Amino acid sequence: MTAPSFPPSVFHSMEALPSESILRKLYPDDVYPNGEYYTSPNGRVRYWLLGPPDGDKVVLIHGISVPALAYKNIGPFLAEKGLRVLLYDLHGRGYSEAPKRVLETSDYAVQLALLLQYVGWDSAKVVGFSMGGGITAAFTSLFPHLVDGKVVFIASAGLIEIPVGEDGNIRAPNRPKGSANPNLPALELRNLQGELLPGFQELLAHDMQYGPITGLDNAFKSLKDIETKGGKLQVLIIHGSQDDIVPVTEALKIKERVPQAEVVQIEDANHYLVIEDEHWLKVATSIATFLAN
């Protein structure tokens, strides 16, 4: 048996693409100020810090295919409210590398734990969108001492039942339709990453089967009584009423498992409510109010 390589082999990120690449023009590495890299056991990770250094600390975790650009409005908004905001790209998305192996939910939780250690934070409030919600649940369950009392789930995955075909292979749930909202970069970002980043499509398939999209029932149930660095966990659930990717019924499933959670439904909002022009401000305001109380 051949010993694994050290450091492990990785799939390159957008960092390796030419500066004139259409993907880098759509998502430049200086989209936020104060961008840096740190070298993790699973490859280089891109992160940004916004807002006053002495502000309350909050981490924003993006979803399965749209990297940290998903928070292009919400991140700066929270920083202007006085919060110290940490954004980063998950392994295999945007400017973060991914190892050439299957990533499991615990890998994503550890990615954040190591990042917090690297930037010198002993704890933070955590916000997760879509698959980032599943990561938030797993991270809080595994590392409650790193969570400062509050988490937010936005259009959260983690409890989705992934259908399996007769051949035994998983069937992906609905994906964003290009005609749903022509102003959203979600479809273009996903497609370009699939074309230009090696391993991207395989990574998404693995996330559906092994990652934070599904199978996190125990993680969510643990949040009911968990004690964090900031005391008993407070939870906010935000979901769009017209979400056709992660149905609003998923929010109710989380509420059943985490009864102390507050639920905010954004009327007429679709899955990408964090970047929809008509809805992101409602989401941002709900987050800011919850974190401030």
DSSP 131-180: HHHHHHHHHHHH-GGGEEEEEEEES--SS----B-TTS-B-------TTT
Q: Which among 293, 154, 160 has a CA at the least distance from the CA of 236?
A: 154
Q: Which among 69, 241, 255, 227 has a CA at the least distance from the CA of 158?
A: 255
Q: What is the pLDDT, as a whole number, of residue 82?
A: 98
pLDDT, tens digit (0-9, with 9 covering 90-100), for 96-123: 999 999 999 999 999 999 999 999 999 9
pLDDT, tens digit (0-9, with 9 covering 90-100), for 173-199: 444 444 344 435 788 999 999 999 999
Over 80: is that where the pLDDT of 73 sits?
yes
Hey, what amino acid is at 268?
Answer: D
- The full set of domains in the chain, from first to last, is 10-292 (3.40.50.1820)
pLDDT, tens digit (0-9, with 9 covering 90-100), for 5-52: 788 899 999 999 999 999 999 999 999 999 999 999 999 999 999 999
Q: Alpha-carbon distance 101 to 24, whole Å?
A: 25
Q: What is the pLDDT, as a whole number, of residue 156?
A: 98
Pairing of strands 84-88, 43-50: antiparallel
